[in-house]
A = this chain, B = another copy of it.
Amino acid sequence: MPTLEVWFEFASTYSYPALMRVEARARQAGVALAYRPFLLGPIFASQGWKDSPFNIYEAKGKYMWRDLARICAAEGLPLRRPSVFPRNGLLAARVAYSGGQQAWVPAFVRGVYDANFAEDREISSPEVLASILSAVGQDPAARLALAASDEVKAGLREQNESAQRRGIFGAPSFCAGDELFWGNDRLEQALAWATQR
Contacts and interface: CB of A to CB of B under 8 A. Distances in A.
A62 interface: yes
Contacts of A47: 57
A195 to B, nearest CB: 15
A182 interface: yes
Copies in the complex: 2
A189 B57 CA distance: 24
Chief secondary structure at chain A's binding surface? helix
Nearest to A193: B70
Contacts of A185: 185
A67 interface: yes
A18 B62 CA distance: 23
A85 interface: no
Contact of A169 (B59, B164, B170): B59
B182 A67 contact: yes
A76 interface: no
Interface string A164-197: 1001111000000000111001100100000000
Contacts of A186: 67
A80 interface: no
A60 B164 CA distance: 11
Return the 5 tightest CB-CB contacts between A and B, nearest first: A59-B169, A59-B167, A185-B185, A60-B169, A47-B57
A170 B59 CA distance: 10
A66 B164 CA distance: 17
A186 B184 CA distance: 13
Interface in A112-166: 164
A185 to B, nearest CB: 5
B57 A169 contact: yes
Contacts of A60: 169-170
6 contacts: A47-B57, A59-B164, A59-B168, A60-B170, A67-B186, A70-B189
